[in-house]
């Protein structure tokens, strides 16, 4: 049973990584490249080389990533590297295919889908899609290679968001436009840098927004005389661990059991339904209190079996409680 679940999780990861890479390729080649908009990351640096020298973007991309794969192997492990290799070569071939099938301008770049003079709008649309694409890849334990490898390595060992790491690296890459005389005068180069900084900000804001929304978690504290039935149902139906604590009411002086569960925010509805079904399946009533505490991040914690409450790091933001009876 668990082997099947593990196998399906791996298949699902690769499907979503593929989807993310497809979204990234379409966004970059359709919305950014036609207007020669610079971006961060290895893909962005490869695009800068392409704009300045004509050396194909996919060639620079694959050369740099081959070197960075060594970092993925040593720091992030073979499993991460295997998915990264898959994503790197998939993006490499998709960039080739996309540039071949999309109609071109006289200068050899894809046509401007939004028309002339729509650089800013094309940049906004492209950044939103690329940010969504990158978050899709990261949320399924993958990477598009390049600076993503560095960001994932830092995020693994330090409490620094992926967007923050990527912004720092991207700033250096985008700023390198000032050193390419092929981009024209210093004023024209500064114009490219400003567009690049907008790309960097919007893309990473989109990335962080999706990542934080998906990684938000909640902590349930359930008080009920049917604690064993509720614990069994949650453990069997959702796969979440349940900790049973001994409670003592200050006012009533009664001893009671308290269930403590950590889950992803999107699983809250399913857990509530399970509790309601057990407490009053035939519209009967039973006194029960549920406290929900919103927890920041922590998605990786839930992927590790055998993690107990005593191993959970101290919460980094004030908790928001919602107290009620069902």
CA distances from 61 to 31, 68, 107, 145, 320 (A): 19, 11, 21, 9, 45
In the chain, the domains with their CATH numbers are 2-214 (no CATH), 216-325 (3.30.70.120)
In percent, the amount of the chain with pLDDT more than 70 equals: 79
- Whether 286 shows a pLDDT value over 70: the answer reads no
Span 288-314, mean pLDDT? 43
What is the spatial distance between Cα 168 and Cα 149, in angstroms, rounded to a whole number?
Answer: 14
Write out pLDDT tens, residues 231-257. 888 888 777 888 888 888 888 888 888
pTM of the model: 0.68
- Whether 258 shows a pLDDT value over 80: the answer reads yes
How sure is the predictor about 94, in pLDDT bands with cuts at 50, 70 and 90? very high
Q: What is the largest CA-CA distance in the chain?
A: 83
Write out pLDDT tens, residues 50-64. 999 889 899 999 999
Residue 150: what pLDDT?
A: 76
- Whether 46 shows a pLDDT value over 90: the answer reads yes
Question: Lowest-pLDDT range, 72-81, 150-159, 218-227?
Answer: 72-81
């Amino acid at each position: 049973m668990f082997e099947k679940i593990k196998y399906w999780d791996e298949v699902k990861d690769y499907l979503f990584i593929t989807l993310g890479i497809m979204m990234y390729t379409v966004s970059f080649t359709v919305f950014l490249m036609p207007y020669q908009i610079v971006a961060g990351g290895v893909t962005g640096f490869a695009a800068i080389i392409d704009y300045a020298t004509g050396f194909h973007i996919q060639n620079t991309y694959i050369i740099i990533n081959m070197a960075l794969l060594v970092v993925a192997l040593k720091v992030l492990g073979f499993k991460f590297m295997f998915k990264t290799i898959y994503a790197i070569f998939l993006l490499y071939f998709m960039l080739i295919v996309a540039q071949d099938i999309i109609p071109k301008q006289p200068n050899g770049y894809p046509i401007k889908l939004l028309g002339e003079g729509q650089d800013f709008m094309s940049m906004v649309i492209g950044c939103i899609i690329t940010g969504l694409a990158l978050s899709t890849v990261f949320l399924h334990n993958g990477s598009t290679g390049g600076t993503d490898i560095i960001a994932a390595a830092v995020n693994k060992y330090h409490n620094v968001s992926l967007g923050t790491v990527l912004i720092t690296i991207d700033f250096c890459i985008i700023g390198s436009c000032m050193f390419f005389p092929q981009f024209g005068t210093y004023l024209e180069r500064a114009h490219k840098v400003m567009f690049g900084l907008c790309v960097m900000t919007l893309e990473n804001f989109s990335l962080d927004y999706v990542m934080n929304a998906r990684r938000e978690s909640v902590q349930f504290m359930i008080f009920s005389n049917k604690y064993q039935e509720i614990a069994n149902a949650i453990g069997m139906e959702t796969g979440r661990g349940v900790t049973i604590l001994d409670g003592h009411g200050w006012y009533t002086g009664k001893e009671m059991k308290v269930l403590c569960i950590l889950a992803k925010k999107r699983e809250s509805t399913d857990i509530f339904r399970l509790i309601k079904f057990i407490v009053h399946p035939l519209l009967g009533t039973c006194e029960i209190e549920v406290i929900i505490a919103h927890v920041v991040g922590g998605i990786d914690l839930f992927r590790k079996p055998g993690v107990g409450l005593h191993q959970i790091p101290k919460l980094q933001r004030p908790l928001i409680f919602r107290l009620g009876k069902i």
